[in-house]
A and B are shown apart, each in its own frame.
Chain A
């Protein structure tokens, strides 16, 4: 594709980052060493929890949009999600995982909700 230099660089970089994020989202083999095994397992479990957390959040947003929650209920729910997010950050840090390590694209799954 003929593109001017800096645009092309930005596109190349963006594509590399997205592809690496995808491959990073799949836990690597968990048999290498006890250390890595624990991290691999943590990654798998945290990825699933993160997926559920995001699905729940989406569900909550749907209900807010539908207008069936009072301001107090919204605030309470928001605080819960906020705490859940903090807890996840702690767990990630504990296992030496970055945010993008658990990044699951909801993609088509998002449409199922």
Chain B
């Protein structure tokens, strides 16, 4: 049974550039109108595998559209049973999709990961007195308490970094989605919605914060399609 695979939602028209191929090398076309259209291709009614080639193709199609117009990227494996279902989806979601499309217009998503320095092993001063007594159990708990304290200290520095970064980027950023401390070392995972003409300034300011906190590793990626800002509001669902 044939289904329609969706890559993204765009304002309608103009028509798509020719020759963009979707999953299974199926040609990409527009469904919908008059104000909204979905970028789609025909596909078997089955989930596509999660591997580099297939996920990469989805992403490549979204990026190809992003080059000439604003796009709301769809989640991977968004399948509907036919063109009528796509039209219904667009009609039912028209208000939310329309406003999200206006929000992302002229803007791109930038990704930032900040990695805390690897934990040290130096002794931590000021442990409670009873922990200085010898004994395997006490030793174990002392080690654990040192780890906890080192962790707490790192966390405090990370929080300071996040605050400074936030204050500095705020004027340049339309929206942001921040996920602090996803793991102990991953101080921050963030996505920012940034206007095209502010991307250079944005990079520069991130560089300034990086110099202030040079022990941390900074990884700036993008521009991406606005995945984190495609829905009504940034969600807090489980992610990487």
Contact = CB atoms under 8 A, between A and B. Distances in A.
Interface of A: 1-3, 7, 10-12, 14-15, 18-19, 21-23, 57-58, 60-61, 64-65, 67, 69-71, 74-82, 85, 103, 105, 107-108
Contacts of A18: 115, 182-183, 185-186
Contacts of B227: none
A58 B144 CA distance: 9
Interface of B: 113, 115, 118, 128, 130-131, 133, 135-141, 144-145, 148, 181-186, 203, 206-207, 210, 217-220, 240
Given A12-B219, A70-B130, A71-B138, A57 B182 contact: no
Q: Which 6 A-B pairs have the closest CB atoms?
A: A78-B137, A11-B217, A79-B137, A1-B220, A78-B141, A75-B135
Contacts of A69: 130
Nearest to B135: A75
19 contacts: A1-B203, A1-B207, A1-B218, A1-B220, A3-B218, A15-B186, A19-B240, A22-B183, A61-B148, A65-B145, A67-B128, A67-B130, A75-B133, A77-B137, A77-B141, A78-B136, A78-B138, A82-B136, A107-B183
Contacts of A76: 137
B113 A81 contact: no
A78 to B, nearest CB: 3
B240 A74 contact: no
Nearest to B221: A1
Given A14-B115, A78-B140, 5 more contacts: A64-B141, A75-B138, A77-B137, A80-B137, A105-B184
Contacts of A81: 137, 140-141, 144
B131 to A, nearest CB: 7
Nearest to B112: A1
Contacts of A1: 203, 206-207, 210, 218-220
B156 to A, nearest CB: 13
B128 A64 contact: yes
Contacts of A77: 137, 141
Contact of B113 (A15, A23, A61, A67): A15
A70 B131 CA distance: 10
Contacts of B210: 1, 3
Nearest to A7: B217
B219 to A, nearest CB: 5
Contacts of A75: 133, 135, 137-138
Contacts of B128: 64-65, 67
A12 B219 CA distance: 7
Contacts of B139: 78
B181 A11 contact: no
A64 B182 CA distance: 28
B190 to A, nearest CB: 13
A78 B135 contact: yes
B141 A60 contact: yes
B198 to A, nearest CB: 16
Given A58-B148, A61-B145, A15 B133 contact: no
